[in-house]
Amino acid sequence: MEEKMFTSGGMERLQAMSDRQNVPYPRGDGKVKLVTADWLADHINDTDLRIVDVQPDVHDYIQEHIPGAVYLTEGILRVSNRGFPTSYSPTGCIQESFRRAGIEADSPVVVYTGKGAFSGRGEGLGQTMMAYSLAKYGHNMVYILDGGIDHWKSAGGELSQEFPDVEPSSFTAEPREEYAIRYDEFRRIKDNDDVVVLDARPAKVYEGQGPWRMRGHIPGAISLPWRSLMDDGNPALLKPNADLDIMLEEHGVDRTRTVICTCGTGREATNEFVLLKWLYLYPNVRLYEGSFTEWSAYPDNPVVEGPEPRAARAEAALPR
């Protein structure tokens, strides 16, 4: 397939398609990689491997989990700060949580979630949220189980109700601030020609049906719902690379530009950040952790309703 059939970066994504057959994927020294159920079955007894279960309810974990997995709820990651509801928890609290889970910064950690067998809840985002947060706070070898526990079960993987004997680790949290983009910088650069802003929320929320006091989306943001990137039957399983390639091309997600991933609270956007930064190796990817919740907290910020990213941009940007 020739390069001229693609926007810039097409051949790199073709290489990613080929590399995905080799796990952990992709090759190289990226902080986050993808592994399969077969790979985990082959390595489940590795002495340095830690498996982290982030199913949506602790009762899901109690009822069934992958052998050796320790439960670590993603709820430890964020807490209200000065009234803002989705701030990251203090670094010391996150560090202690990772230590209690026996996580070492330079030993592989496999993260998975799924639709809870007890609660019936779970949409797959827990594993990208936890993977991003592990890397953000200094972990160097995070593996996401493609398809989560549901794919593990469909592949015949063993389940357990045993709780592992875990010794606390000496994990030291060292935040990598370069992953995130803060409000002031986001506001300053978001409309630059060399920047593309993605909105990972469902299309109906992007268009104006969300719960925020201001409805719609950030002017200029392109709607790319995170769920559209995932298997129809399993929201923790990425679609084949060929399908992902087409969607990225159609949305103009060009690796020559800075890509800023946004959503409602910074959680859905971790799915696209992980995909673009670590699996497709885009050189300039940022995550706006405050996302629409922070943007809409400023009453003077413009918003756009409807399906078009820029239809009302000029009008919305006018002084009021």
Close Cβ partners of 117 (under 8 Å, ≥ 6 residues apart): 60, 63, 64
Owner of token pair 């959680």: 267
Catalytic residue among 263, 276, 281, 287: 263
The C-alpha atoms of residue 286 and residue 260 are separated, in whole angstroms, by: 5
Owner of token pair 């129809």: 232
Cβ–Cβ < 8 Å for 150, 187:
no
Cβ–Cβ < 8 Å for 190, 197:
yes
Q: Does 261 participate in catalysis according to the annotation?
A: no
Cβ–Cβ < 8 Å for 18, 71:
no
Strand residues in the chain grouped as ranges (E): 32-35, 50-53, 70-71, 78-81, 84-88, 109-112, 142-145, 195-199, 222-223, 258-262, 285-287
Give 81-86's long-range contacts (Cβ < 8 A, gap of 24+).
Answer: 84/293, 84/294, 84/297, 85/265, 85/293, 86/265, 86/266, 86/267, 86/289, 86/290, 86/293
> What 3-state DSSP class applies to 229?
helix
Beta bridge partners of 145: 35
> What 3-state DSSP class applies to 230?
strand
The C-alpha atoms of residue 230 and residue 226 are separated, in whole angstroms, by: 7
The residues that are catalytic are 263
